[in-house]
Amino acid sequence: MRLLLHATRCAAALLIVHGTFAFALARDKSVWSYEGGLFVITNGSLPNGPCFRLTGHVTSGDFFDRLKRVDRESGTIFRLGAETVQNFPDQLTLSFNVHDHYDQTCPPREENPGAPKYLTRAMMTSLHLYLYWKRGVELRPAGNVERTVFVVRELIPKAAAEAHGLPEKLEWTYEYIVPSAGVPLTDSLVLILRDADNRIVARVAARL
C-alpha cells in the first residue's frame, strides 16, 4: 500500500513537472503564419468631405504563404521552410481598394451637414499616395515604386444611378510594385494618403 502510494505521488510529481515544462515552452515560443500575405485596413476621411475605407494586402509570390515568425524570450526569428531569413524578397506587390464607408469613426454629420457624402473622381484624383519603410520611429521613402494597376469600378451602374436619382458610387483599385531587396522583415511598409493641402487623410502600416 505504501509502495502504491509512493508510486502515485511520484507520478503526480512527474505530471506537475511535465506540465510546468510544457507551459514554459508554450510561454517561450509562439509561431505566427502569414498565409495570403500582409493585410491592411483603415478608415480615412477628407476634410469637409466623405469618409472612406482602404483595404489591401502585400504579397510576393508564395513567400508569405511559407513564412513563419517564431517569438521566443531570446528573440524573434523568421523561417521560410527550414531556412532562417532576415529580409523581404526583392520586390513586393501592394494592392488596395478605396470606397465610401461610414461608421462611428467618421466625424458627426451634424458638424457639417452640407459636406459631400460620397467620393468622386475629382476627390480621388486630388489625393497622393506616399510609401515609406518604417524602423522604430524613422520613416524613409520607398524608392522606385511602380504603379501597375488602376481601375475605377462602378458599385452602382451609372445608368441605374441616374434613373433613380442616386449619386455615382465608385470603388478605386490600385496595385504597385515596391522594391524591397535588403529590407529587414522587422521594418513596416507604411501607406499614407494626403490631400491637395498635404494633410494626411489616411495612414496604415503592413507589418509582420
pLDDT string in tens for the chain (208-residue length): 343 334 334 444 433 333 433 333 445 579 999 999 999 999 999 988 899 999 999 999 999 999 999 998 888 999 998 999 999 999 999 999 999 998 877 777 666 677 788 899 999 999 999 999 999 999 999 999 999 999 999 988 777 877 777 788 899 999 999 999 999 999 999 999 999 999 999 999 999 9
User: Where along the chain do its domains lie?
Assistant: 1-29, 34-206
The grid cell for 155 is 458599385
Distance CA 17, CA 140 (A): 49
Distance CA 67, CA 80 (A): 5
8 Å CB contact between 111 and 164: no
CA of residue 97 relative to chain centroid, distance = 12
Q: What pTM was computed for the model?
A: 0.81
